[in-house]
Structure 1
Amino acid sequence: MKSMLSSRPIRPYECVLITGCSSGIGLASAELLHQQGYKVIACYRNPDDLARLEAYGFYAYVQLDLADPNSVEQAWQTALDLADQQIYALFNNAAFGTPGALEDISRKVLEDQFQTNVFGTHQLTQLAIKQMLKQGYGRIIHNSSVLGFTAMSLRGSYNASKFALEGLAATQRLELAHDPIDLVLLQPGPIISQFRHNAHQNFLKWVADQPSRHEQTYQNMICRLTADTAPAPFTLPAEAVAKVLLSVLRARRPKLQYRITLPSKAFHLLRRLLPARWLDRLLIIASGGGKR
């Protein structure tokens, strides 16, 4: 049975390490926890973001590139020193997507996607688990996605990375079942963030210049990624995820999974109810696909 320490709620003075704080969910989460009195250690990848982040007055800032193993190691040690060797919670939020049909996604692109979304996140989680076992308590929260349990077309590399993250998390839960560490998955659907902008930039970098039979589909996708219009239906602000994170941190015994936004909840239910082929047709429509 788990130690009672693992199920106690985090008190406001405790340290929470958050990756990907430059914008979106990471920044909204860091802001909310900071307002609630937590010692937020905000991680950022681009050095140009530091001056802007410092204006928020978070407890500490650490540069972290999850694609670089040395950066992960150094960032963790720096964060641990800043936290006086006591980090209660790790929120694995940093991730990105490279859109495109899988037949156009090279091995190099897939490796680039996994370096951050899977390998770096796993390395950081390993380091956190070792420390949390040593200190006798801790909480790890992975920011997954509706695409971590339901695939959509043109998002294959991101789907695969989030499916992998969920597989790692499910295994870690079993392996930590008798240890004083809680492991939680957040599974948001559409959220207002820089994700679409960054996805478009990655598409231009990796996919756009090569010939493809999906050219017309890509044009439609680019219009969606770059449209300066109201968000798609059921899209929530990044603060919606931050509020769920706060509830996870405050819970004496958090749930294993938190589905955020109506699409995430709906597709979780539809996966259980619909035949696979029916669900595939629905997902093609939801993906913005269809006949070329």
Structure 2
Amino acid sequence: MKKSILITGCSTGIGYVCAHALHKRGYQVIASCRQLADVKRLQDEGLTCIQLDLADSNSINNAVRQTLELTNGKLDALFNNGAYGQPGALEDLPTDGLREQFETNFFGWHQLVRAVLPIMRKQGYGRIVQNSSVLGFAAMKYRGAYNASKFAIEGWSDTLRLELMGSDIHISLIEPGPIETQFRANALNAFKRWITIEGSAHEQQYRRQMDRLNSDTSSNAFVLPAESCITPLIHALEANKPKIRYRITTPTKVFAVLKRVLPARALDKILRRAA
């Protein structure tokens, strides 16, 4: 019998390649996208795809209902992946901009997990995989909103793992570093929506950030393709003892070590340059 999985944020990047890879592996993949045009595109590519906007409570409820109709009331796994980055210095970011970041990156995930957990408890098993980031444990300047949402997901997931011990519902975190996706394009749109450059104390840095976000490809020497997340995801879904954290890319692995061994001020100096 096919294992079923609901994946959020499948229009591009990690969600897109993982949805296709698991479909080829024999999973019953329920891919989801925020935009209807993307839903139609993935359907044309042979995937089962539904609309799910993580910032819309009704959309989440409808997506869960559709998913369970497609899977005959069961769900083996959830891969929470849909998210975006809100750039900008915290002092320049209106509270509504931060709130909007959390609606998609945190509160939507919370609602979705709460909706599927009763199904997993009833069937006696399940896997929940949360796509976090190196920025979920190592903060970098001008990424404060995204840092905060991913730090929150890390703590939330750790808590949930403790609360589900003994249930055979496993919680894993994937922590990618620089991945080649359309993340920058979405971040640029969010930046323009909420940040006023003119007159900011960070105006010069913002001009440089705009150049980076406008680029089609990353300039990071350690960037990996989105496909690098497929193998860790499969392990989290299929291993008898899945890892708590899957660290992907060299920067993630290096900063995980540095955070353990360096004093905070020494780490700050490195993170300041890395940003």
TM-score normalized with structure 2 length: 0.97
1:240 is matched with 228
1:275 is matched with 263
8 Å CA contact 1:144–1:188 kept in 2: the answer is: yes
The amino acid that maps onto 1:72 is I
2:92 is matched with 104
8 Å CA contact 2:120–2:169 kept in 1: the answer is: yes
Superposed CA offset, 1:233-259 (max 9, x none): 111000001221112222111011111
Q: Does 1:196 align with 2:184?
A: yes
Superposed CA offset, 1:112-165 (max 9, x none): 000010001000011111110011110000000000011000000000000011
Q: Does 1:145 align with 2:133?
A: yes
* Identical aligned residues as a percent: 50
1:56 is matched with 45
The amino acid that maps onto 2:29 is V
SS at match of 2:50: strand
Superposed CA offset, 1:239-283 (max 9, x none): 001221112222111011111100000000000111111100100
SS at match of 2:170: strand
- Relative to structure 1, the CA distance from residue 108 to residue 230 in structure 2 (aligned partners, 3 Å threshold; closer, same or farther) is closer
- Relative to structure 1, the CA distance from residue 231 to residue 32 in structure 2 (aligned partners, 3 Å threshold; closer, same or farther) is farther
Superposed CA offset, 1:46-71 (max 9, x none): 1111221112212x211111111111
Q: Shift of residue 89 of structure 1?
A: 0.4
Please tell me the root mean square deviation across aligned C-alpha atoms, in Å.
1.2
The whole-number CA distance in structure 2 between the counterparts of 1:97 and 1:151 is 13
The amino acid that maps onto 1:177 is M
The amino acid that maps onto 1:47 is L
2:10 is matched with 21
1:65 is matched with 53
8 Å CA contact 1:20–1:44 kept in 2: the answer is: yes
- Relative to structure 1, the CA distance from residue 230 to residue 198 in structure 2 (aligned partners, 3 Å threshold; closer, same or farther) is closer
The whole-number CA distance in structure 1 between the counterparts of 2:218 and 2:134 is 21
The amino acid that maps onto 2:49 is Y
The amino acid that maps onto 1:35 is K
Gaps of 5+ in 1: 1-10, 288-292
8 Å CA contact 2:32–2:39 kept in 1: the answer is: no
- Relative to structure 1, the CA distance from residue 229 to residue 64 in structure 2 (aligned partners, 3 Å threshold; closer, same or farther) is closer
Q: Does 1:166 align with 2:154?
A: yes
8 Å CA contact 1:192–1:231 kept in 2: the answer is: no
Please, which of 181, 194, 198 is the counterpart of residue 169 of structure 2? 181
8 Å CA contact 2:92–2:196 kept in 1: the answer is: no
Q: Does 1:253 align with 2:241?
A: yes
Superposed, which structure 2 residues align to 1:84-95 within 5 Å? 84-95=72-83
The whole-number CA distance in structure 1 between the counterparts of 2:80 and 2:8 is 6
The whole-number CA distance in structure 2 between the counterparts of 1:85 and 1:185 is 25
The whole-number CA distance in structure 2 between the counterparts of 1:22 and 1:135 is 30
Aligned residues: 275
TM-score normalized with structure 1 length: 0.92
Identify the range of structure 1 (226-235 vs 165-174) with the bigger mean alpha-carbon deviation: 226-235
Q: Does 1:43 align with 2:32?
A: yes
Q: Shift of residue 77 of structure 1?
A: 1.0
Q: Shift of residue 285 of structure 1?
A: 0.3
Gaps of 5+ in 2: none
After superposing on structure 2, the runs of 4+ consecutive aligned residues of structure 1 that deviate more than 4 Å are none
8 Å CA contact 1:29–1:243 kept in 2: the answer is: no
SS at match of 2:76: strand
8 Å CA contact 1:87–1:138 kept in 2: the answer is: yes
Identify the range of structure 1 (91-100 vs 240-249) with the bigger mean alpha-carbon deviation: 240-249
